[in-house]
Each structure stands twice: as structure tokens, then as C-alpha cells.
Amino acid sequence: MNRLFAFLLVAVLFTTNTSFKPTVAGSSDYYIVIEKHKYEMTVFDADDNALIIYPVVFGNKDLGDKMMQGDRKTPEGTFHISAKRPHPKWNKFLAIDYPNEESIEKFNERKAEGLIPANAQIGGEIGIHGTWPHEDFAIDQYQNWTMGCVSTKNQYINQLFNTMAVGTTVIIKQ
């Protein structure tokens, strides 16, 4: 099944799926898994049932783990939504707690191994957000355009913004 058809099918299922309601939930009611190689973000309920899949894009076609500030890569690991706010450019923004302890440890190990420059910075301000107004096509065309964030269509970020609570777990993997 091609990806566009699969995403359209998921969108139709979302409108009929009674188990995923766009109302504010507690931070343990749902969790999010982002699979970079699939360009997908899946929302699961507390019983590990996949409820909806959203198409997403990232910062870099490389899709590798974030190494340092400015590499335009999306970090991998387990994070949590740390804040929610409207965004003047990208509709809504769900900040994640990058860098967290796990990220800092990986960063320091990479520095010690000489994989990144000694003066490199870890970066920050990573989150899940929408697109520029009227540019949802970037998601359909798999255009990786962010500085390391995860981007989805504005209608989808609105659903997530209205549903996901601060503290919700976000797992990002290759």
C-alpha cells in the first residue's frame, strides 16, 4: 500500500475512531512513537493500542541521531512533552525535554570519542510542530525542512495540541 493512501486511510479512520478523542488527556493516557525511517508518528493509548498514525518530516534527509547543535538532525531517545504553545510560524509547538540526561550522556561520549568537535554545543528547542501556513504539502512530499524538530500537517498538530498533556512520553527512534 503506498504511503499517501495509507495516511489518507488513517485520516478517515481517525474520524470514526471512538477510542481517540481530541480532548485533553492526562500525561499517562497516551504516548507517542516517532519512527524516522517510516516518516510516521503513532499515538498509542495506555494499553499499547495504536490509535492513529500521522505523517511527519524532520530536519535532515540523513535521519541519523542528533549529534550537535546545527546539524539539523532529530534526536533519538525517550522524551516528554515539556510545554505547549501556539507558534507564530508553525501553528502549534509541543516542546520536548531535549536535551535530557540520556541526550547529554550521548553527547558527552561522542565528544570524548572525537566524533564531534570539542567546542560543539548540544542544542535545544526541539519539538513537534506544524508547517508554515498553506505548506502542508511539505509533509506529503517528505520534505525534511526543520532544524531538527518533527513537523506534521497543521490539522494534525492541532489535534495533538488539544489532546496531549504536558508530561506525555515521546519516543523517537530511527
Give residue limits of the domains in the chain: 3-173
Tens digit of each residue's pLDDT (9 = 90 or more) over 119-145: 999 999 999 999 999 999 999 999 999
Cell of 5: 493512501
* pTM for the predicted model, two decimal places: 0.85
Strands (E) in 18-76, as ranges, are 30-35, 40-45, 50-55
Q: What is the model's pLDDT at position 26?
A: 72
Cell of 148: 531538527
- Once rounded to an integer, what is the mean pLDDT over residues 98-123? 97
Cβ atoms within 10 Å, residue 91: 22
Q: 152 in helix, strand or coil?
A: coil
Phi (first) and psi of residue 159, to 5 degrees: -60, -45
Cell of 78: 525517550
Whole-number mean pLDDT of the chain?
88
Interatomic CA distance for residues 143 and 75, integer angstroms: 18
Burial (CB < 10 A; 0-12, 13-18, 19+), residue 39, is buried
Q: Tell me the CATH architecture of domain 3-173.
A: Beta Barrel (2.40)
Tens digit of each residue's pLDDT (9 = 90 or more) over 39-69: 999 999 999 999 999 999 999 899 999 999 9
Residues 29, 46 contacting (CB under 8 angstroms): yes
| Closest by Cα among 6, 1, 32 to 140 | 6
